[in-house]
Structure 1
């Protein structure tokens, strides 16, 4: 069995690839223009200029490309295949003995390669660029450095202790690794009856490979009828709080990579916090490739039927209809999972299963 692509595979792939890219560029371009125009209202606040707005929006392009790819894939695939159907190229390929399933497999392979690139982008470039965009906006408006503005006013919970930090900074260590330094830190330890058991103030808190270290510590411990104060130059803080979970708390769940989402989910579950928003986005990332392929395969049978007649408007309408229908179906199951509190994996598996069943039914109908 030959594993190398045949000439018709390359031809189909090139046709689909070009129309998907054009559709993708149009969708992302329109979204970028709208986002940039929306930043005008903030220009002039603090040190926020038009240049900061442009840079902030440009850094969001990888995330926007990831978000719009499923829609661009189904519209572009339908337009590309529809053009080939209108010029009888698909009919000619069928006359050579190629089945509908074989032609659909060629389209799926081309889209799989593009989807793989988007998955890598969604886990690497897009989160990093989005963080840069958020930092540029925050630092320009506040007048602080990128890292300081990111960690300004931190509030997190770890067990029975709440941490508050005035500012913070990430420092690169010689060789490899980073070190997190939080300034003007207060630790509020809450007793079982809800009262404050102790209040600890540290001029700085450092997190590195050895864990958390409090520097220049002053601790007030509250008893039933008295309070005592102790001081220390430096002491260890035995905490499971991870610097990664601390950092991800400043970004919206949809802007995080899957590994950061997983860290945030574990942190929230450990501290009895609601993690369903993070679980929602986390499992949507895992089902992203399947969603793209299921959506496109469900639309492919139309290339062998109704797309042979009608112009570009018809293909565009069908593509938008499929993309919108799938999005509404996914949104419905996602909201149901949140309301009824059942597994998000089930919610995100149902829409592609429905679309694949639709695709199978359409294939049998067209074959009949």
Structure 2
């Protein structure tokens, strides 16, 4: 099979790209409107306004485009090929000697361009914009001085004390609800002249119903010509910092690039922390291109069968059903990997393999 693009490759690829882009824009528009409606419920909380809701929704669009692209790709590919099948153009291509494999390759090459764009978006614009959206909502709703820096974690201010935590998470606390645990915490206390008066390091800062507790505390108190050091195993921290605001301001795995996720996974494993959420997101990024292309290639054989006699509604229904089935299968294997603690690479490799195998089996049955 010659890999040099021919006019029929360009024609098939152009039709598929057009329908994918249309479906993608429609899904993104609907998702954006629903997100704006959901954000509007927070108007009036703190200083949160409609302008904040609109800006926060706009910031999330790159991430939403990244998330919706696999579904848009399979629905658009099925609709594009279905239109060619309904007008007998696929039959004409087959009659002049164009194989199914060649048509599938034309679809794969066309979609690989958009997939590559989404991979770049998922590593650059989407995490940055989502982080901006989260911080915008948190700052407006809780009226807290919060910031999440790329390499230095969470920052918050209370009076003349500045808190820095490298990472943290909310954990279940039995029947008592959840508690917030911050790791590698530093508290910088300034005097009236703005000079550093005290530096407190704590391995963890935990907030529950009783308040804040610092564990494995080391404190340096700076005098004019001296430094006094204190160490305690744990102590109460009298702070009015809102734990909900801090939890909302923590950098979530979806807001990190693959490199930052890998660094976070290594850090959490070194310190005996649970890294499964980060591993899940990390390997989903690596398998994203494979999943998109495998999903679309697995759907291609349907265009040669029942879609010839079906209308737009049938193509749309089958595309959504196929995409939804794949997403549920992938979610199932991902949850099983987290629960049973087996390799996430296996969890993300199995769904595309199963989809391709089922599609190949159905295709052979039709041919036979």
State the 1:167 CA deviation.
8.3
**In structure 2, distance between residues paired with 1:339 and 1:353:** 22
Asked if structure 2 preserves the Cα contact closer than 8 Å seen for 1:166 and 1:183, the reply is no
> In structure 2, the residue corresponding to 1:140 is in which secondary structure?
helix
Question: Does residue 219 of the first structure (1) align with residue 240 of the second (2)?
Answer: no
Q: Structure 2 CA distance, aligned partners of 1:11 and 1:76?
A: 15
Q: What SS is found at the alignment partner of 2:185?
A: strand
Q: Is 2:272 the counterpart of 1:272?
A: yes
SS in 1 for 2:218: strand
Counterparts of 1:183 and 1:102, CA distance in 2: 71
The aligned residue for residue 303 of structure 1 is 303
| Alpha-carbon distance in structure 2 between the residues aligned to 1:19 and 1:202 | 65
Aligned mates of 1:328, 1:272 — CA distance in 2: 31
1:186 positional shift: 2.4
**Distance in 2 between residues matched to 1:18 and 1:157, nearest whole Å:** 43
- Per-residue deviation at 1:219? 2.5
What's the counterpart of residue 344 of structure 1?
344
Tell me whether 141-150 or 283-292 shows the greater mean CA deviation.
Answer: 141-150
Structure-to-structure mapping, 1:118-197, within 5 angstroms: 118-143=118-143, 147=147, 151-152=155-156, 154-156=164-166, 163-165=184-186, 186-188=200-202
Aligned counterparts of 2:129 and 2:232: Cα–Cα separation in 1: 45
Establish whether residue 333 from structure 1 lines up as the match of residue 333 from structure 2.
Answer: yes
In structure 2, do the counterparts of structure 1 residues 21 and 197 end up closer, same or farther at CA, with 3 Å as the change threshold?
Answer: closer
SS at match of 1:200: strand
Pair 1:89 & 2:89 matched: yes
Cα deviation digits, residues 38-60 of structure 1 (max 9, x gap): 11121122222111111111011
Q: TM-score, normalised by structure 2?
A: 0.77
Compute the displacement of 1:366 (Å).
Answer: 3.3
Cα gap change, 1:264/1:184 in structure 2, threshold over 3 Å: closer, same or farther? farther
Cα distance change of structure 1 residues 187 and 102 upon mapping to structure 2, 3 Å threshold: same
Contact 1:304 / 1:366 at 8 angstroms: preserved in 2? no
Q: 1:289: which partner in 2?
A: 289
1:32 & 1:15 partners in 2: Cα distance?
26
SS at structure 1 position matched to 2:310: coil
Partners of 2:148 and 2:251 within 8 A in 1: no
Q: Deviations over 1:259-302 (max 9, x none)?
A: 11111101100100000111011111111111111111111101
Paired positions, count: 313
**Per-residue deviation at 1:196?**
5.9
**Is the alpha carbon distance of 1:138 and 1:319 closer, same or farther for their aligned partners in structure 2, counting shifts above 3 Å?**
same
SS in 2 for 1:219: strand
Q: Are 2:268 and 2:275, in contact at CA under 8 Å, matched by a contact in 1?
A: yes
Distance 2:155 2:266 in 1: 21
Structure 2: tracts of 5 or more residues without a match: 157-162, 169-181, 190-195, 205-213, 234-248
TM-score by length of 1: 0.77
1:199 has 2:218 as partner:
yes
Query: Which residue matches 1:63?
Result: 63
What SS class does the counterpart of residue 44 from structure 1 fall into? coil
Larger mean CA deviation between 84-93 and 35-44 belongs to 35-44
**Residue 51 (str. 1) matches residue 51 (str. 2):** yes
Q: Is the 8 A contact 2:81 2:303 kept in 1?
A: yes
Offset at residue 187 of structure 1 (A): 1.0
Question: Is this contact kept in 1: 2:299–2:322, CA < 8 A?
Answer: yes
Q: Distance in 2 between matches of 1:184 and 1:60?
A: 39
Aligned to 1:244: none
Aligned partners of 1:281, 1:348: CA distance in 2, in Å? Answer: 11
CA–CA separation in structure 1 for the residues paired with 2:76 and 2:334 = 26
Give SS of 1:39's match: helix
Match of 2:245 in 1: none
CA RMSD of aligned residues (A): 3.0
For 1:246, the equivalent position in structure 2 comes to none
